[in-house]
């Protein structure tokens, strides 16, 4: 038996198929994963993501502490209440310990990190807090619900009180706001607009049921994965991990190189990598033939000196009606390559690793 969220009984009562996800009992679907996927692309779906780890960081040195811990620079949001920032937390060798979102709050910062790396992240945060006036507090009493899709914000506004609805209406993309004890963030992991709502666990079922009654479709981790892959969003342990540099995980844009005096953990290592140049890159693959691309399948480049790569994530795209993948391959790959599927090589097209955003195809 794994850890259970505040919504666990609701999932059981509503025919969710539960799976073990990093020691949490989580719904993978409630029947049709395909319908759940389309609900998010076309209207509104909701996910119980209470397995994610919420950590609040406060204290006089909160900003300089996070400037040391993160590859992106929280000084960019320090004077902007509610602003969110996406970043990697690196080890000394430049590998990605985790990717996370950090929000500027009234008293400091709120971070949301992956549950699979929870113990490692909390240990790392504490280990590097020495010498800083900071308080690191895991908020395990909170639940988290993600409501995503083109109708998501309106559906949420219709079930919350007037004050919360007014705040949500004014919340820009990658901003957050708190009303009473409820934290609303206009962020997500699906390639659609929407909100991630962090609230006391005691209030989670009431909000979830109100959203359900208002037509928001409950969705499991299966649809969450196909949605994020269509959107070209990395998954820890697949596109990145502690052995993978952000420079080869399409995360170079999250690194704040200026000011040069900011010596964040891992900076020296990735500066050396940037100077030397990297020999692999993360690309998108699209297969027109029948079949499904899967993580771990081998990628073969064309030519006499053909190199090899590997698919990091792959699936059938419900939105596009064809199989897609992200793959780590030798730098300089051309417009096509082969993927080995059951001892056969299948030709696939190489594209930018982002396939769908806001319900619209981004591939030709």
Q: Is the pLDDT of residue 115 over 60?
A: yes
Q: Is the pLDDT of residue 305 over 70?
A: no
What per-residue confidence (pLDDT) applies to 307? 83
Same domain for 178 and 228, yes or no, is yes
Residue 107 burial by Cβ neighbours in a 10 Å radius (0-12, 13-18, 19+): exposed
Same domain for 197 and 289, yes or no, is no
Spatial contact of 171 and 222, defined as CB atoms under 8 Å apart: no
In whole angstroms, give the CA distance from residue 193 to residue 187: 7
Domain boundary among 259, 276, 293: 276
In whole angstroms, give the CA distance from residue 59 to residue 266: 24
Which CATH number does the domain housing residue 100 bear? Answer: 3.30.1360.120
Please compute the mean of the pLDDT values over residues 208-219 and round it to a whole number: 98
Q: 254: cis peptide before it, omega within 30°? A: no
What per-residue confidence (pLDDT) applies to 342? 92
Spatial contact of 293 and 285, defined as CB atoms under 8 Å apart: yes
CA distances from 228 to 39, 65, 192, 332 (A): 14, 30, 10, 25
User: pLDDT digit string (tens) for 49-105?
Assistant: 999 999 999 999 999 999 999 999 999 999 999 999 999 999 999 999 999 999 999
User: pLDDT digit string (tens) for 270-292?
Assistant: 999 999 999 999 999 999 999 99
Which CATH number does the domain housing residue 348 bear? Answer: 2.40.30.110
Spatial contact of 94 and 273, defined as CB atoms under 8 Å apart: yes
Same domain for 158 and 222, yes or no, is yes
Same domain for 212 and 306, yes or no, is no
CA distances from 26 to 128, 222, 225 (A): 32, 10, 13
Q: How confident is the model at residue 302 (pLDDT cuts 50, 70, 90)?
A: confident
Phi, psi at 76, each rounded to 5° = -65, -25
User: pLDDT digit string (tens) for 252-261?
Assistant: 999 999 999 9
Q: Is the pLDDT of residue 209 over 60?
A: yes
Q: What is the mean pLDDT of the chain?
A: 96
Same domain for 199 and 225, yes or no, is yes
Give the rounded percent of residues in the chain with a pLDDT score beyond 70. 99
User: Which range among 39-48, 222-231, 305-314, 351-360 shows the weakest confidence by mean pLDDT?
Assistant: 305-314
35 Cβ contact list (under 8 Å, min separation 6): 217
Same domain for 231 and 272, yes or no, is yes
Domain boundary among 241, 276, 311: 276
What per-residue confidence (pLDDT) applies to 311? 98
Same domain for 243 and 204, yes or no, is yes
Domain boundary among 225, 259, 276: 276
Same domain for 221 and 353, yes or no, is no
Same domain for 144 and 240, yes or no, is yes
Task: Tell me the CA end-to-end span of the chain in Å, nearest whole number.
Answer: 46
Same domain for 187 and 285, yes or no, is no
- The domain of 312 spans 279-361
The domain tally of the chain equals 2
Same domain for 223 and 331, yes or no, is no
- pTM of the full structure: 0.96
User: pLDDT digit string (tens) for 158-200?
Assistant: 999 999 999 999 999 999 999 999 999 999 999 999 999 999 9
Higher pLDDT, 302 or 23: 23
What per-residue confidence (pLDDT) applies to 11? 98
Phi, psi at 82, each rounded to 5° = 90, -15
Q: Give me the DSSP letters along 211-252.
A: HHHTTPEEE-HHHHHHHHHHTT---BTTTB-TTS-GGGTT-G
Same domain for 60 and 148, yes or no, is yes
Q: Is the pLDDT of residue 304 over 60?
A: no
Q: Is the pLDDT of residue 5 over 60?
A: yes
């Amino acid at each position: 038996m794994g850890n259970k969220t505040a919504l666990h009984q609701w999932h059981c009562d509503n025919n969710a198929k539960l799976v073990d996800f990093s020691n949490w009992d989580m719904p993978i679907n409630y029947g049709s994963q395909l319908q759940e996927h389309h609900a998010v692309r076309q209207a509104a779906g909701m996910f119980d993501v209470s397995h994610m780890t919420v950590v609040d960081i406060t204290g006089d040195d909160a900003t300089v502490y996070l400037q040391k811990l993160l590859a992106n620079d929280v000084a960019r949001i320090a004077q902007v209440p509610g602003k969110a920032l996406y970043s990697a937390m690196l080890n000394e060798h430049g590998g990605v310990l985790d990717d996370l979102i950090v929000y500027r709050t009234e008293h400091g910062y709120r971070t949301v990190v992956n549950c699979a790396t929870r113990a490692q992240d909390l240990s790392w945060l504490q280990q590097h807090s020495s010498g800083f006036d900071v308080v690191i507090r895991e908020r395990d009493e909170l639940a988290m619900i993600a409501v995503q899709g083109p109708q998501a914000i309106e559906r949420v506004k219709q079930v919350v009180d007037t004050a919360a609805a007014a705040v949500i209406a004014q919340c820009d993309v990658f901003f957050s706001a708190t009303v009473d004890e409820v934290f609303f963030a206009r962020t997500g992991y699906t390639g659609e607009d929407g909100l991630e709502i962090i609230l006391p666990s005691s209030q989670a079922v009431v909000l979830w049921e109100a959203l359900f009654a208002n037509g928001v479709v409950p969705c499991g981790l299966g649809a969450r994965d196909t949605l994020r892959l269509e959107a070209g969003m990395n998954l820890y342990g697949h596109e990145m991990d502690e052995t993978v540099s952000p420079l080869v995980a399409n995360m170079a844009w999250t690194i704040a190189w200026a000011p040069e005096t900011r010596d964040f953990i891992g900076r020296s290592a990735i500066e050396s990598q940037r100077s030397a140049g990297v020999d692999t890159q993360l690309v998108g693959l699209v297969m027109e033939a029948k079949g499904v691309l899967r993580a771990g399948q081998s990628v073969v480049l064309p030519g006499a000196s053909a190199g090899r790569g590997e698919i990091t994530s792959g699936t059938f795209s419900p939105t596009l009606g064809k199989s897609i993948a992200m793959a780590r391959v030798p730098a300089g790959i051309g417009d096509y390559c082969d993927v080995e599927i059951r001892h056969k090589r299948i030709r696939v097209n190489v594209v930018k690793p982002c396939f769908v955003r806001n319900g619209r195809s981004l591939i030709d």
